[in-house]
């Protein structure tokens, strides 16, 4: 696991964009695993800049997003499909038919999750998976649990995640209580993983997840067992882990 402490959010975003841009340049038909949340917004903006500068093309890229709220239609402004369109897909030459997000509108959870898992497998698996980090160590929507869930599945969101994500909704009552998410097994199958985190409020979980014990109560800790992980954090999020490296 390589841990890089960037100077600030802009530096973290640029360094993370460089990792993704290198993957896209080296393998123009890459399968990218993508993430939502506030953290990757800056790195998506950097990738759009690279595209506009003619440095990279997403023409042959396929993408699979980590997760989606259950019950939100794709055009809901808090759906992760909408987020991806707004922050990346609408601004680059990616073929939207080749971009995949779990189908939050499918009421049949088992069917939605099984179809997603099969689609990833049929595409040949994820080359590079981008991840943000929840305050409780969740990745995608894999919440702290007594075991590591393997495949794409439906989850009940924890109160802390509902609380954290309510900032983006008009009221906390509008936050969906469930989501579809890639499993830890799905994530760990990616060839390469890139984790980003910023802000002082992530400092403790960054340190616990990447230097603490590997336990399902801190889902991101499992990434310590993956052979090719790069963690890029800003100085604030790196303020505790820096003394443990
Ligand atoms: C959300 C998402 C995660 C995201 C995390 C952190 O609930 N499901 O995929 O990485 O929480 O979000 P943020 O980057 O806004 O802190």
Statement: 2-243 belongs to CATH 3.40.50.12780:
no
Q: How confident is the model at residue 48 (pLDDT cuts 50, 70, 90)?
A: very high
Q: How confident is the model at residue 36 (pLDDT cuts 50, 70, 90)?
A: very high
Q: What is the CA radius of gyration of the chain?
A: 17
Give me the helices (H) in the chain, please: 9-26, 41-52, 80-87, 109-123, 159-165, 184-188, 203-211
Q: Helices (H), strands (E): how many in the chain? A: 7, 10
The percentage of residues in the chain with a pLDDT greater than 90, rounded to a whole number, is: 96
Residue pair 183/142 in contact by the 8 Å Cβ criterion: yes
134 in contact with ligand 1, CB cutoff 6 A: yes
Q: How far is the CA of 240 from the centre of ligand 1 (A)?
A: 20
Of the candidates 229, 242, 142, the one whose C-alpha atom is nearest the C-alpha of residue 200 is 242
39 in contact with ligand 1, CB cutoff 6 A: yes
Q: What angle do CA 167, 215, 6 make, to 5 degrees?
A: 55
Q: What angle do CA 8, 141, 94 make, to 5 degrees?
A: 70
Active site residues: 67, 136, 138, 143
80 in contact with ligand 1, CB cutoff 6 A: no
**Domain ranges in the chain?**
2-243
Average pLDDT value over all residues in the chain: 97
With H, G, I as helix, E, B as strand and everything else as coil, classify residue 50.
helix
Distances (CA, A) of 129 to 160, 164, 189: 25, 23, 9
Task: Calculate mean pLDDT across residues 61-74.
Answer: 95
């Amino acid at each position: 696991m390589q841990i890089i402490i960037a100077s600030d959010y802009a530096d973290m975003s640029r360094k993370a964009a460089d990792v993704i841009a290198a993957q896209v340049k080296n393998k123009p038909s890459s399968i990218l695993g993508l993430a939502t949340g506030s953290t990757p917004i800056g790195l998506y903006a950097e990738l759009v800049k690279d595209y506009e500068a003619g440095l990279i093309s997403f023409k042959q890229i396929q993408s699979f997003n980590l997760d989606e709220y259950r019950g939100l239609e794709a055009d809901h402004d808090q759906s992760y499909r909408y987020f991806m369109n707004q922050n990346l897909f609408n601004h680059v030459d990616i073929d939207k038919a080749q971009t995949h997000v779990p189908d939050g509108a499918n009421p049949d959870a088992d069917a939605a999750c099984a179809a997603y898992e099969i689609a990833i497998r049929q595409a040949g698996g994820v080359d590079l998976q981008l991840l943000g980090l929840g305050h409780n160590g969740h990745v995608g929507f894999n919440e702290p649990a007594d075991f590591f869930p393997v495949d794409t599945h439906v989850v009940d969101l924890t109160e802390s995640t509902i609380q954290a994500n309510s900032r983006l909704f008009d009221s906390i009552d509008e936050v969906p209580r469930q989501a579809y998410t890639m499993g830890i097994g799905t994530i760990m199958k990616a060839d390469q993983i890139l984790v980003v985190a910023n802000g002082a409020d992530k400092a403790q979980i960054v340190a616990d997840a990447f230097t603490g014990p590997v336990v399902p109560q801190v889902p991101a800790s499992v990434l310590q067992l993956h052979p090719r992980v790069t963690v890029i954090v800003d100085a604030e999020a790196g303020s505790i882990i820096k003394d443990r490296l």
